[in-house]
Amino acid sequence: MIKPALFHRETLETIRTFPVEVRREFGKAIFDLQKGETLKMPVSRPMPGIGPGVEELRIRDRSGSYRVFYVARRERGVLVFHAFVKKTRETARREINLGRKRLKELMNE
């Protein structure tokens, strides 16, 4: 059974600005999550500082590093709640805070 992917509206808009190949990679990874697969490094890693069960999809290409925060273990489906271009080695505090805010918004829908 394939679970639905539920996107925070602003997250979907951000993903649409990513290069085509990066979008394809994210799309494949999200579809794998919808099928119930568990993704591991280097494609996905846990982000417990954002919330329980939160993980980060990681795609890198010539133009940069791209990240998508998600929670896969929900009855409603795969929650995809934040996307951004990563510009530094450590995830910026702003991105973590925005991720927390958007997760809360998506959980309350």
pLDDT digits (tens, 9 = 90+) for 2-23: 999 999 999 999 999 999 999 9
Q: Which amino acid is at 72?
A: A
pLDDT in tens, 31-55: 999 999 999 999 999 999 999 999 9
Assess contact for 54 and 99: CB atoms under 8 A: yes
What is this structure's pTM? 0.94
pLDDT in tens, 55-100: 999 999 998 999 999 999 878 899 999 999 998 889 999 999 999 9
- Domain extent listing, the chain: 5-107
Please name every residue paired with 6 in a beta bridge, in sequence order, or none if there are none. 79
pLDDT of the residue at 74: 79
Choices 3.40.50.300, 3.40.47.10, 3.40.630.40, 3.30.2310.20: CATH for 5-107: 3.30.2310.20
